[in-house]
Amino acid sequence: MTDVTTPLPVDATTRIRRESERQVTERAALHAVLDEALVAHVGVVRDGLPLVLPFACARDGDTLLLHGSTGSGLMRLAAGEPVCVTVTHLDGLVYARTTFDSSMRYRSAVVHGTAEVVPPEEKERALTVLSDHLFCDRTAEVRASTVKELAATMVLRVSLERASVKVAAGPPEVDPDDVEPRSVWAGILPLSTVAGEPQPSPDVRDGVDVPPSVRRAADRLNAGGAPAPAR
């Protein structure tokens, strides 16, 4: 396991070329971005062409787990192959005083690695990590997965050894040639993902309350924090 105090590597693959001052090399920053993510965009090369699809994800120590079905084309395609897994949180629209300087606040993580199939004997634990991240410890509220269900599920994992993190969090840039900037409004419109009211299925029996896992997921999102505990 990689020590969390070991900085992320900056090499030909992971070096951020554009706005390099925004590159963050603390592994804890990588973990924070990933722990707030429910979905990652996974890129693979298929027949020489790029393919990018969204997958549910959860960090498990120094690997990232990706969840899919054995029927998923990309899961099978990615197994054993190089992947690039990217997570982006859009935190705000940056209104500068010019179109040129207008931008976005965001945090992104880009992981480069090989997608390994989680072997059968580790699959149940990996699915628990995924479910507990995505659904805030839901596994304690439902029955265990069956052998058949486990067999129909595929989990991939990617090492977090080689990754880059970029954080754009500053104020709007100011055009140095602008002689009268202060009369035009500039600022940030903050964006965030929030949860609404839980919607029970029509077949839920009267008196069955919204469970703690759903409340936790809503509370964590609406508090502006990560949707699941850091691991």
Q: Which of residues 104-123 bind a second copy (CB under 8 A)?
A: 104, 106, 108, 110, 112
DSSP 206: T
Q: Pick between residue 63 and residue 131 the one whose CB is nearest to a second copy.
A: 131
Q: Pick between residue 121 and residue 206 the one whose CB is nearest to a second copy.
A: 206
Q: What angle do CA 24, 128, 87 make, to 5 degrees?
A: 25
Question: Please, are residues 179 and 119 in contact by the beta-carbon 8 Å criterion?
Answer: no
Q: Pick between residue 4 and residue 142 the one whose CB is nearest to a second copy.
A: 142
Q: Pick between residue 56 and residue 79 the one whose CB is nearest to a second copy.
A: 56
Q: Is 179 in the site for a second copy (CB under 8 A)?
A: no
Give the number of other Cβ atoms within 10 Å of residue 7's Cβ. 9
Give the number of other Cβ atoms within 10 Å of residue 66's Cβ. 26
Interaction mask 68-107, a second copy, x per CB under 8 A: xx-xxx--------xxxxx-x-x--x-x-xxxx-x-x-x-
Give me the amino acid identity at 19: E
Tell me the C-alpha distance between 131 and 5, whole Å: 27
Q: Pick between residue 4 and residue 152 the one whose CB is nearest to a second copy.
A: 152
Residues 132-151 that bind a second copy (CB under 8 A): 134-135, 138-139, 141-143, 145-146, 149
**Nearest to 46, CA basis, from 79, 86, 87:** 79
Rg of the chain over all Cα atoms, to the nearest angstrom: 20
Number of residues counted as binding a second copy (CB under 8 A): 93
Q: Is 217 in the site for a second copy (CB under 8 A)?
A: yes
